[in-house]
Copies of this chain bind each other. A is one copy, B any other.
Amino acid sequence: MPASSSSSKLEQRPNSNSQNRNIVVLAGGVGGAKLADGVAQIVPPDNLTVIVNSGDDFQHLGLTICPDLDTVVYTLAGIENPETGWGRAGETWRIMAEVGRLGGPEWFKLGDLDLATHLVRSQLLATGHSLTEVTQTLCNKFGIEISVLPMCDQPAPTMIATDQGLMPFQTWFVEQKWQPAVREVVLPDVISTAQVVSCLENADLILIAPSNPFVSIDPILNAYPIRSMLADLAELVVAVSPIIAGEAVKGPAAKMMGEMGMRVSSAAIAQYYGDLIDVFVFDRRDSALLNQEGSLNSLITFQTDTLMNNRQDRRRLAQEILNLAMELLNS
């Protein structure tokens, strides 16, 4: 296989046997949710698991809020708010307005419908259910058949060391609008779940979604033993770059790369993942950048249009990646 394939050829190939392969997507928020939805449009639900970052979960207004899990669940259920990238479609804001009137914090917006999710989750957690069980319950209620797993059941708060001090992820990301310059992402030592370990053991293909590598994917990899399982097991690991034309599609990935002394490019993302990945998918707008970099020789790279503006885009990108992966798995 050439180091840089044409998407048009791959797109024309038959679906082959991706129906029978077990696929795991590692996902943060929006980008991860979109790619997961693309794959979910193609493969049977029993063959797909999405492992979601829970490092940006936090306690707010007395409730346990899981932003990435909710974005993935709402997106897979087709009820996500396409304008915001978080929360639900058709949302109203009566409670948030009253919370503000009562002097409560307003910086993290919780819509009325969205709040029901947090209330039910908090109730289930308080009565002894694990986050994995709670997520399964919510998926059932939202009609989602594929398996969505938090990376771990323990609290795993991502902390951001910035030029204004160490702060919890959501304080930096939402309250401070990711403006404080990042020096380091600080991840706690946590242990993943039996469900995650089992699905990774049975995986044929692992897709690292085009999510932020530092605050979405690294927290997942850091939950023991996920990183070592990706490194040691025989499954194919494919990463999709979150950088398009030298910029992040959404969020702070590019800004963080600059602040942490990295070149802002898809090539730098590929280098960051290093030996962990077998295939790197990046946008055709970034070819020039990638060609300038070295040390990617052992990596299979694949260029295509990685921007996912609608459900058809998600399916097309997922299909191209699956076609390539199946070809590699069957070779």
Cross-interface CB contact of A113 among B98, B117, B137, B138, cutoff 8 Å: B98
Interface hits, A282-305 → B, CB 8 Å: none
Whole-angstrom CA separation of A101 from B189 in the bound complex: 36
Interface size on A, residues (CB 8 A): 32
Q: What CA separation (Å) do A53 and B119 show in the bound complex?
A: 25
With A62-B64, A115-B115 as contacts: A120 and B103 at CB distance below 8 Å: yes
Q: Which of A121-129, A176-184, A212-220, A248-256 contacts B (4 or more CB under 8 A)?
A: A121-129
Chain B residue at minimum C-beta to C-beta distance from A120: B104
Cα A297 to Cα B161 in complex, Å, equals 74
Most B CB contacts (10 A, CB to CB) among A60, A61, A92, A115 go to A61
By secondary structure, the A interface counts as helix
A121 to B99, CA, bound (A): 10
Chain A residues engaging chain B, CB cutoff 8 angstroms = 59-64, 92, 94-95, 98-99, 101-105, 112-113, 115-123, 125-126, 137-138, 141
29 contacts between A and B (CB under 8 A): A59-B126, A61-B119, A61-B120, A61-B122, A62-B63, A62-B64, A62-B118, A62-B119, A62-B125, A63-B119, A92-B94, A95-B95, A95-B115, A95-B119, A98-B112, A98-B113, A98-B116, A99-B116, A101-B141, A102-B116, A102-B120, A102-B138, A103-B120, A103-B137, A104-B116, A104-B119, A105-B123, A112-B112, A115-B115
